[in-house]
Structure 1
Amino acid sequence: MDLPLSGTRLVKIVVAVPVVAALAAAGIAAAPTSHHVVSARSNEAAAANTRWTSGWGAAAQAPVAGNEDSGPNWSTRGFADQTVRQVVRVGIGGTRIRVRLSNAFGTKPLRIAGATAGRSAGRAVAWPKTITPVTFSHAATAVIPPGKELVSDPIALSTSPLERLAISLRLTAPTGPATFHRFAQTDSFLASGGHLNDVGADAFKEATSSWYYLTGVEVSGAPARGSVVVFGDSLVDGVGATKEADARFPDDLQERLIASRRPLGVVNAGIGSNKLLNSSPCGGEKGTSRFARDVLGRPGVRSVIVHLGANDIGAPQVDDPCVRPNPQVTARQLIDGHRALIRAAHTHGVKAVGMTVLPMKGALFPLWTPKAEQLRQELNHWIRTSHEYDAVIDADRAMSDPADREMPRPGYVFMDGLHPNDAGYQAIANAIDLAAL
């Protein structure tokens, strides 16, 4: 059906009925996918004959009632008369890109007053003569309804593997609370007024360690064979990795793929504190609710790596309103949740790769109990031995201490005693059989 936007332009929403029905049968909530995302009419004809691959991505989250960093809480405050410049590393190269913007958790239409893309020269600086306008249905402005995503027109900006891009959004009208990604592990930059085409960083006087509205950069014109989405919690999000170093294990995986001449993009769809079976204020929608949007809704996805269950197992011991509500779960419930993700992936023709849950004993906050350890062992045993996943990555074995398999290896763990450090994330990436992807 066609829905009017701003009384002038139309966007087309196409619902792939067989896919939605199959997802419902698998127990996965339907969400915008590449078949029924809001997209400009001008994109449809071009996209029909163009192969697009996800070169970068982030999972969308609802605003969090607490600082996402040490500065103002921009997710709940929103933006008005500002330019937001966000730097992302695109894993694969190509001749054109397009950007994906999300208003999934907005309460009002999001008005984009302009956008540009260019090569990043570090921090908020862009390389001269690379800043390129981003258009939507050949217009410089766009309106994204609440709960929807918007994909831009193709942009004639070539990229090389592992190159950083600076994506700038001009937001004039007050946005209200912002759809965002909390733990970016890199800074985004804010300027008052219009600075879409600024090469220098002088106007960008504020920084925040989150991404806003930007959930994907897609690439065409390259030999890419598709993409791998890594779906999970803080292990995937990269908590514990060095900031600004692209040292999460999905980053390390992307580097291994490039070095081995395997042209696959890697998308990080992790959310810190995320759970498989229960939603929470800081951890976002539960895995079974967001799988369709964050994995199946991206173009060119060939396989998905799943690491979820740790927060379902351990979080009930944490007296923190950020992670509640979170009732006690059983191994059977966790296994059924994983099975739902596997069915949904297979229905969409996507290979499903399971990842064992890392050791939790020794964490410097109250996460581990003997009962939690029993649940972890039962879930990991099923992941390893059931053969329901198409392949398995044994991150537990890669990270655990050979002297005590319930504990993480000391040289691989962050100061919180739970998350990997850079060496630990590299060890996990090294444990992945690239041929399995």
Structure 2
Amino acid sequence: MRARFARAARLAALLLLAGGAQAAPVQASDGPHEFAVLGAPADPRSVVTWGASADRMGDGVADRGYRLVVHTSTGGTDLRIRLSNAFGDRPVTFDDVHAGIRRTGAELVRGSNHALTFEGARSVTVPAGAVVVSDPLPVRLPAATDLVVSIHSPDAAGPATGHWMAMQTSYTTQGDHTAEESAANWTETTGSWSYLDSVSVRPPAGTGAVVAFGDSITDGWQSTTDLDRRWPDYLSRRLQTARTHIKGVANEGISGNKVLADGAGQSALNRLQRDVLSQPGVRTVFLFEGVNDLKAHTGVTAQDLIAGYREIADRVHAAGKCVVVATVAPFKGWSEWDPAAEAVRQDVNEFIRTSGDFDAVTDFDHILRNPYDPERIFPFFDGGDHLHPNDKGMQAMADAVDLPSLDCTGRG
């Protein structure tokens, strides 16, 4: 009962803060710019169908084209994309942006490639620290589609924004070939997504989305490249055939990410608003982070991590959404494992299982651990480094998620 009252007090404080500053942009902790969403007005019927967390990349290249392959979750109409300059130090212009359906490789289905506009214009300049949302494209996008977004920037320079570890082959070119459906000029490959950080559609009424919020395991490391075998991909396939209103899935994992400290991307606490809560149609946040905090040997205690989890849960609840949390998976055999980190993991998992601070719990520790040596991942699920699951482990994780727990009406 005491924990319930404490949670209510934290939530009330956050609601007061949110009520006083709901329309204000969110300050990014490791950059000089505020996060702002520009472009066409938000559509309350839109739901995110694909997402990838933004991070700093190398320097942008002028007159470079990107043909970015992404696999959607829910289907719908009125396709919109979001382009990010969150980590840029200067404006970047996109003078030609198209979206089409992939046939194979960099080749598109004939007749599927359409120009996107931004408040009616074909060109858009995104200030440093901002994201921009396109106008809706009046086409129907089927569920589970390989969508191809082709973008060109005539002036990109300075730090670029994107997602390093896509586990998906995309394509680049020099010059503007975005309108072409042929692959002839898209001969260079890349394993990253540049500038694009989400796609949304207007699905059937009542449809919502879940955001998988995590680190390299969520990002898909050790799953098979180009086959969409990250655990959120397997979860999406379950959701598309299930009797549930949750059909949208956004993967907001970053390899090496921590709950508490910036490093491999901003911390979960610092990127929660931009990567998760600002996405349209999100009903539930699925939090699976923590192993990078406790194995880094920086002195992080169980109480430190618990405070971070509670802050995330309180902020998600203050936004009127639900939060499902997963236990931290075993990693004995990984080079940074030691008994002290294991002790923190055990204490954190006990809190996750018993605190009642979350709307639901998925026990990934129980699913992935070796029953004969529970501090280790089960060999059948081990991707080879004793931390990251392979394809079978990813599928087992997705299969362990209780789908009704994701179909949440939110918290007010």
* TM above 0.5: yes
CA shift for structure 1 position 23 = 9.2
Equivalence for 2:314: 343
Identity %: 39
Match status 1:300 vs 2:294: no
Equivalence for 2:399: 430
TM-superposition CA deviations, 1:266-321 (whole Å, max 9, x none)? 100000000011111xx1111110011111111111000101110011123xxxxx
Task: Say if 1:132 and 1:157, in contact at 8 Å, map to a contact too.
Answer: no
Name the SS of the counterpart of 1:119 in structure 2.
strand
Match status 1:270 vs 2:253: yes
Pick the aligned partner of 1:360 from 318, 331, 334.
Answer: 331
Aligned length: 383
More deviation in 255-264 or 374-383?
Answer: 255-264
Name the SS of the counterpart of 1:241 in structure 2.
coil
Name the SS of the counterpart of 2:300 in structure 1.
coil
Q: Distance in 2 between matches of 1:82 and 1:300?
A: 32
Pick the aligned partner of 1:279 from 258, 262, 276.
Answer: 262
Structure with greater strand percent: 2
What residue ranges of structure 1 are gaps of 5+ in the alignment?
Answer: 1-17, 64-75, 317-326
Match status 1:399 vs 2:368: yes
Q: Distance in 2 between matches of 1:232 and 1:223?
A: 28
Pick the aligned partner of 1:96 from 50, 55, 78.
Answer: 78
Task: Say if 1:23 and 1:344, in contact at 8 Å, map to a contact too.
Answer: no
Equivalence for 2:9: none
Superposed, 1:221-236 pairs within 5 Å as 221-223=203-205, 225-236=207-218
Instruction: For 2:286, give the aligned amino acid.
Output: I
TM-superposition CA deviations, 1:26-67 (whole Å, max 9, x none)? xxx9359xxx84323xx22xx45x50000000000012xxxx
Match status 1:376 vs 2:376: no
Equivalence for 2:238: 256
Match status 1:415 vs 2:384: yes
Task: Say if 1:95 and 1:222, in contact at 8 Å, map to a contact too.
Answer: no
Name the SS of the counterpart of 1:165 in structure 2.
strand
Superposed, 1:9-408 pairs within 5 Å as 21-22=17-18, 30=26, 37-40=36-39, 43-44=40-41, 47-48=42-43, 51-63=45-57, 76-223=58-205, 225-263=207-245, 264-280=247-263, 283-316=264-297, 327-363=298-334, 366-408=335-377
Task: Say if 2:26 and 2:36, in contact at 8 Å, map to a contact too.
Answer: no
CA shift for structure 1 position 347 = 0.2
Task: Say if 1:87 and 1:188, in contact at 8 Å, map to a contact too.
Answer: yes
Task: Say if 2:96 and 2:176, in contact at 8 Å, map to a contact too.
Answer: no
Equivalence for 2:11: none
Task: Say if 1:313 and 1:329, in contact at 8 Å, map to a contact too.
Answer: yes
CA shift for structure 1 position 248 = 0.4
Instruction: For 2:342, give the aligned amino acid.
Output: E
CA RMSD in angstroms, aligned pairs only: 1.8
CA shift for structure 1 position 390 = 0.7
* TM-score normalized by the length of structure 2: 0.90
What residue ranges of structure 2 are gaps of 5+ in the alignment?
Answer: 1-13, 29-34, 407-412
Task: Say if 1:249 and 1:428, in contact at 8 Å, map to a contact too.
Answer: yes
CA shift for structure 1 position 261 = 3.7
* TM-score normalized by the length of structure 1: 0.85
